[in-house]
């Protein structure tokens, strides 16, 4: 008698699971975007991506500072170990035909032909390939600002996965994921949450309210995109992801990520004289409070960290108050306008807050 075994199509491969875990570590609160990226990656790994087009065409909408660009950098960081491993095009910079030549190079015979290194050449796409992974990440930022000629170029890439350069060479995008970002509709979206409750209710209200509001925000975002972009463009997208606005619980998690990055900067900057940070919970709370402005996502938090932590640290380094191997404790006293820095000279454990491992 034959046996029927039910299979589980929701289970992913090890690599895709690894990517998902890494991304969730690096990007907070945008699980929808993460799962779409992981799906595309899984398709690429199994060779099941559709032929003759990019591996994925994604449009990311949503408020400023919510992680749209970050999730792309984080994908490159997770897969090719380099957050800069992304070919990034700021659409606002390519308004005129001579600027488009920076992207695709100029035809042979034109003045300056030899000097132009097309930004979208095959070499540029392949530059970040590794032995294990021949996949590129291309980001078109602020696409609502693209000129008509850039749009045409983009439509060709999204549809056929190819681009013809000024000198007629062809660039193949079938091993690329194309990301596009836009703030389009962000005002309408924030107006949905803002008037009565504060936009941040999307992150701090109860779960049903949160889900409802996020649903409305997504619908508003997609509607704004449909109004602004042509049907040809919308039809070429695999996914439109609307990013959530970040709330205090998200910022609490992001502060830890950012503090890790500060420690990495110390490691790179101080080289042989590196020291370690131990940031208390009260100091983190203070940074989050100083860095919260729901309109601007995580950007004010990053600025608060620069102003309240990194600048004072550089002063301490320059005035040689910090020495090699020190554990610098960063704390905060209630109502104080700044952080408190002190040095642990004996053992790191004495503080009760472990120094971050270097
Ligand atoms: N969801 C998030 N998780 C972790 N860090 C985040 C997140 N959102 C923003 N950040 C931090 O804030 C910075 C700015 O975010 P990002 O550049 O991704 O914003 P954006 O959504 O692309 O905004 P804009 O529409 O203005 O381009 C990031 O570099 C990252 O450090
Ligand atoms: Mg961005």
Which CATH number goes with the domain that contains 330?
1.10.8.60
Residue 281 counted as domain residue? yes
pLDDT-above-90 percentage for the chain: 72
Give residue-wise pLDDT tens across range 136-160: 999 999 999 999 899 999 999 999 9
Mean pLDDT of 308-315: 96
Averaged over 227-233, what is the pLDDT?
Answer: 93
Pair (211, 230) in one structural domain? yes
| Structure tokens, 9 | 């199509």
Atom of ligand 1 nearest to the CA of 301: 12
Check pocket membership of 95 for ligand 1, CB cut-off 6 A.
Answer: no
Residue 68 C-alpha to ligand 2 middle, in angstroms?
A: 5
**Residue nearest atom 6 of ligand 1, based on CA coordinates:** 67
Q: Provide the pLDDT confidence category of residue 23 given band limits of 50, 70 and 90.
A: very high
Model pLDDT for residues 211-221, shown as the tens digit of each residue? 787 788 888 88
pLDDT per residue as tens digits for the range 238-263: 999 999 889 899 999 999 999 999 99
- Quick check: is 214 in a domain? yes
Residue 49 lies in domain: 14-245
Q: Any idea which ligand is nearest the CA of 73?
A: 1
Asked if residue 12 has pLDDT above 80, the reply is yes
Write out the two tokens for 156: 């060709």
Q: What is the pLDDT of residues 41-55, one digit of tens each?
A: 999 999 999 999 999
pLDDT at 201: 44
Assess whether 64 and 165 both reside in one domain.
yes
CB 12 within 8 A of CB 38: yes
How many distinct structural domains can be found in the chain?
Answer: 2
Query: What's the pLDDT at 356?
Result: 54
Determine if ligand 1 sits within 6 Å of the CB of residue 244: no
* Best mutation site among 34, 60, 65 for ligand 1 pocket (most ligand atoms within 8 Å of CB): 65
Phi then psi for residue 203, to 5 deg, are: -110, -20
Instruction: Determine the 3-state secondary structure of 243 from DSSP.
Output: coil
Question: How far is ligand 1, taken at its centre, from the CA of residue 271, in Å?
Answer: 28
Looking at 200, 218, 245, which one is the last position of a domain? 245
Distance (Å, rounded) from C-alpha 290 to C-alpha 305?
9
Structure tokens at 114: 């030899």
Which H or E run includes 342? strand 340-344
Residue 6 resides in a domain: no
302 lines ligand 1 (CB under 6 A): yes
Closest residue by Cα to atom 26, ligand 1, is 64
> From CA 107, how far away is CA 113, in angstroms rounded?
7
Pair 70, 204 in one domain: yes
Whether the CB of 242 sits within 6 Å of ligand 1: no
Among the residues of the chain, which ranges form H helices? Answer: 14-26, 31-45, 68-80, 97-104, 122-126, 148-160, 186-197, 201-204, 207-228, 231-235, 248-270, 281-290, 299-305, 311-318
* 34 in contact with ligand 1, CB cutoff 6 A: no
Q: Predicted confidence band at 174 (pLDDT cuts at 50, 70, 90)?
A: very high
Interval between CA 182 and ligand 2 midpoint (Å): 8
């Amino acid at each position: 008698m034959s046996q029927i075994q039910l299979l589980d199509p929701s289970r992913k491969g090890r690599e895709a699971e690894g990517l998902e875990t890494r991304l969730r570590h690096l990007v907070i609160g945008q699980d929808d975007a993460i799962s779409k990226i992981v799906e595309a990656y899984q398709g690429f790994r199994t060779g099941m991506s559709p032929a003759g087009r990019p591996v994925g065409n994604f449009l990311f909408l949503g408020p400023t500072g919510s992680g749209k660009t970050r999730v792309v950098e984080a994908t490159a960081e997770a897969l090719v170990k380099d957050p800069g491993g992304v070919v990034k095009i700021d659409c606002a910079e390519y308004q005129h035909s001579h600027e488009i030549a920076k992207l695709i190079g100029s035809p042979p015979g034109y003045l300056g032909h030899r000097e132009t290194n097309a930004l979208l050449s095959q070499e540029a796409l392949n530059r970040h390939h590794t032995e294990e992974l021949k996949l590129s990440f291309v980001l078109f930022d602020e696409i609502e600002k693209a000129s008509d000629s850039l749009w045409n170029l983009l439509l060709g890439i999204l549809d056929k996965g190819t681009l013809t350069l000024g000198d007629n060479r062809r660039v193949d995008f079938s091993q690329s994921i194309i990301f596009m970002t836009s703030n389009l509709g962000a005002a309408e979206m924030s107006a949905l949450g803002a008037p009565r409750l504060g936009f941040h209710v999307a992150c701090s209200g109860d779960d049903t309210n949160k889900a409802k509001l996020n649903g409305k925000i997504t619908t508003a975002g997609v509607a704004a995109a449909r109004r602004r972009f042509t049907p040809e463009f919308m039809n070429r997208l695999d996914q439109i992801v609307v990013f959530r606005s970040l709330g205090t619980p998200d910022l609490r998690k992001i502060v830890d990520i950012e503090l890790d990055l500060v420690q990495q900067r110390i490691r790179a900057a101080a080289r042989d004289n590196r020291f370690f940070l131990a940031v208390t919970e009260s100091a983190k709370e203070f940074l989050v409070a100083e860095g919260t402005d729901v309109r601007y996502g995580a950007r004010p938090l990053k600025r608060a960290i620069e102003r309240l932590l990194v600048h004072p640290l550089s002063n301490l380094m320059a005035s040689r108050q910090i020495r090699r191997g020190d554990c610098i404790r960063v704390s905060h006293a209630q109502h104080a306008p700044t952080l408190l820095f002190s040095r642990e000279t004996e053992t790191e454990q004495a503080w009760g807050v472990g120094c971050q491992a270097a």
